[in-house]
């Protein structure tokens, strides 16, 4: 559960200095679920799940202020902290660590590092949770560096640099599960001097361990720090003071490695390096736009905005820049444009993430070089240690699907290629046929340019509908963009196959995927073709429509 004081108001200091949480099924008999000290502006309180109807919070501390609650939320949270805490409580410290070791040894192997090196990528951002080093109670683990030593060594042998990323901190550095602990704004980290000191201790140990190691590119101090969604000047100052503490902890033992600092959400959330005397630093951005994942135009805007902003950012802070996380969903053309644009302007990049459990139907899954693993995950509250480990062993990369199109795009730009120059094949001389041609909605309307007047099937999508183009002569083909009229944005195919042929008789499938919004660019293995056939393979209570099909000889 979480208690929040009113945000950015004079009473935001009215958080409980101490608390006791009590639960009851009948409102008469109460049991204590948790107790502790409140934290700055907001307090995140975790305790084992229990069935209850009534919830009572008792303030147990003293302060020269009223106690106020701007918001109280309660629920079942699934996050990194809950996972480790549940494992430890159920299995004990040693068995819990054996389960985690099995997962880590399965998730990334030497073969995975071979794949990364084979794509000509040059560095890997390795996320570390604070529980990599210490137990949930704050005690240090016996062998906290074993897996990190392994990946640094193996990456270095393949010519890969490693950026060590403290991805979660005690209490959570932001309100989302990705920061380690779901909670309020601010999360527990920002009000806990103990949590902040533990993060300082972790970085002191990490920097001392890897000082002088040539395979380590640098230290990524804290992932996506966010006190609240409308940070004021005091919040920004508090964050920068924390960055400075972490920076000083690293520099006290390692004067040489690059320190990566978070500009989250932008430069207005971080100080200029000279304000704190930071040297040999890099500023990191995470330019996601998750507001409209299925809208190509909505995803194109941040690409254009980010590329346009790079010169001003360089000029403003005078340090190297890193786009350390981003996703552009299924838009192969936007991925290519963004990677090329960053290369051209000297910005480093590492998209998130190497592997994703979700399937291709999920837009987020597309950011994975490998995705789609339907094997069951461990049930933390009931599975035995042996069962958990057996389930986790099913998550080796061999049980995922390689995202071939994404592999091609990443490999194309990992070498530093700095231009995105798609060459479209002119539509002149094209002829088209389709599985159905209602009067006034003829197939020719689907190749006359993006004018919001297209071809429609005239019936709901059921699978098997097709649209075929004869380009007149054989052309090289590297990318196909399928576009639905903007006035009919739901009429995109729910699944599709793309086949090519040089003679109209023998066909080769070059793409099979789900569609994802009104405009869908698909990078394929470069080939030659005269004929192109798109078959709709899904089902939906909408007609399938095509406003335009663009075919690119290269990109």
Q: How far apart are CA 479 and CA 476, in angstroms?
A: 10
CA-nearest of 275, 263, 385, 409 to 334 is 409
pLDDT band at 18 (very low <50, low <70, confident <90, very high): very high
At 519 the three-state DSSP class reads strand
Over residues 431-459, the mean pLDDT reads 94
pLDDT of residue 306: 97
Of 52-66, 239-253, 352-366, 367-381, the poorest mean pLDDT is in 352-366
pLDDT band at 551 (very low <50, low <70, confident <90, very high): very high
pLDDT of residue 8: 53
- Contact partners, residue 76, CB within 8 Å, separation at least 6: 49
Spell out the domains of the chain, with CATH numbers in brackets. 2-73 (no CATH), 423-554 (2.60.120.260)
CA-nearest of 316, 320, 195, 326 to 259 is 320
Segment 392-409, tens digit of pLDDT: 999 999 999 999 999 999
Helix (H) or strand (E) run with residue 201 in it: helix 193-210
pLDDT of residue 416: 96
Task: Name the pairing type of β-strands 216-220 and 258-262.
Answer: parallel
Q: How far apart are CA 474 and CA 472, in angstroms?
A: 7
Q: How far apart are CA 456 and CA 485, in angstroms?
A: 10
pLDDT band at 350 (very low <50, low <70, confident <90, very high): very high
- Contact partners, residue 92, CB within 8 Å, separation at least 6: none
Segment 412-444, tens digit of pLDDT: 999 999 999 999 999 999 999 999 989 989 999
Q: How far apart are CA 289 and CA 327, in angstroms?
A: 8
- DSSP for 401-439, written as a single string: EE-HHHHHHHHHHHT-------EEPP-TT-EEEES---T
Q: What percent of the chain has pLDDT over 70?
A: 99
Mean residue pLDDT of the chain comes to 94
Q: Which two tokens stand for residue 81?
A: 């902290």
Q: Which two tokens stand for residue 475?
A: 């052309």
Burial 325-349 (b: 16+ CB within 10 A, else e): bbbbbbbbbbbbbbbbbbbeeebbb
Q: How far apart are CA 37 and CA 26, in angstroms?
A: 27
pLDDT band at 526 (very low <50, low <70, confident <90, very high): very high
Segment 289-330, tens digit of pLDDT: 999 999 999 999 999 999 999 999 999 999 999 999 999 999
pLDDT of residue 515: 79
At 388 the three-state DSSP class reads helix
Q: Does pLDDT of 513 surpass 90? A: no
């Amino acid at each position: 559960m979480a208690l929040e004081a009113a945000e950015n108001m004079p009473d935001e200091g009215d958080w409980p200095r101490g608390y006791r949480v009590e639960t009851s099924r009948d409102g008469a008999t109460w049991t204590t679920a948790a107790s502790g000290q409140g934290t700055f502006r907001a307090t995140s309180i975790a305790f084992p799940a229990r069935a209850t109807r009534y919830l009572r919070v008792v303030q147990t501390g003293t302060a020269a202020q009223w106690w106020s609650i701007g918001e109280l939320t309660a629920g079942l949270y699934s996050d990194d902290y809950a996972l480790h805490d549940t494992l430890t409580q159920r299995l004990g410290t040693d068995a819990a660590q054996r389960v985690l070791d099995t997962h880590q040894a399965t998730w990334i192997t030497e073969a995975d590092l071979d794949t990364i090196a084979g794509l000509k990528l040059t560095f890997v951002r390795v996320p570390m949770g604070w529980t990599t080093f210490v137990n949930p109670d704050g005690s240090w683990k016996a062998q906290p560096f074993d897996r990190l030593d392994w990946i640094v060594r193996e990456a270095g042998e393949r010519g890969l640099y490693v950026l060590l990323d403290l991805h979660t901190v005690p209490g959570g550095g932001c309100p989302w599960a990705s920061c380690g602990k779901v909670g309020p704004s601010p999360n527990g980290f920002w009000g806990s001097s103990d949590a902040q000191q533990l993060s300082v201790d972790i970085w002191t140990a990490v920097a001392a361990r890897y000082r002088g190691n040539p395979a380590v590119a640098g230290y990524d101090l804290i992932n996506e720090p966010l006190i609240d969604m409308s940070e004021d000047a005091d919040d920004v100052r508090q964050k920068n003071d924390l960055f400075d503490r972490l920076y000083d902890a690293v520099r006290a033992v390692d004067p040489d490695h690059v320190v990566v600092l978070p500009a989250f959400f932008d430069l207005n959330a971080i100080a200029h390096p000279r304000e704190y005397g930071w040297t040999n630093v890099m500023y990191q951005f995470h330019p996601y736009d998750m507001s409209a994942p299925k809208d190509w135009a909505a995803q194109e805007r941040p690409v254009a905005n980010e590329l346009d902003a790079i010169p001003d950012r360089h000029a403003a802070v005078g340090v190297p820049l890193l786009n350390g996380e981003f996703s552009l969903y299924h838009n192969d053309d936007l991925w290519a444009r963004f990677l090329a644009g960053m290369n051209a302007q000297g910005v480093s990049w590492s998209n998130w993430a190497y592997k994703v459990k979700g399937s291709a139907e999920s837009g987020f899954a597309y950011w994975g070089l490998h995705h789609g693993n339907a094997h069951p995950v461990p049930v933390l509250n009931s599975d035995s240690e042996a069962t958990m480990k057996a389930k986790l062993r099913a998550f080796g990369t061999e049980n995922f699907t390689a995202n071939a199109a994404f592999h091609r795009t990443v490999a194309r730009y990992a070498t530093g290629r700095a231009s995105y120059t798609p060459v479209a094949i002119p539509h002149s001389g094209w002829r088209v046929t389709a599985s159905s041609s209602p009067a006034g909605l003829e197939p020719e309307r689907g190749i006359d340019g993006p004018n919001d007047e297209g071809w429609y099937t005239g019936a709901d999508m059921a699978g098997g509908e097709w649209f075929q183009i004869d380009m007149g002569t054989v052309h090289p083909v590297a990318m196909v963009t399928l576009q639905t009229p903007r006035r009919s944005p739901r009429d995109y195919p729910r699944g599709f196959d793309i086949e090519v042929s040089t003679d109209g008789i023998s066909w080769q499938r070059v793409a099979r995927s789900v569609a994802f919004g009104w405009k869908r660019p698909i990078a394929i293995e470069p080939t030659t073709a005269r004929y192109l056939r798109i078959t709709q393979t899904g089902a939906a209570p909408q007609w399938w429509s095509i406003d335009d099909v663009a075919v690119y000889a290269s990109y």
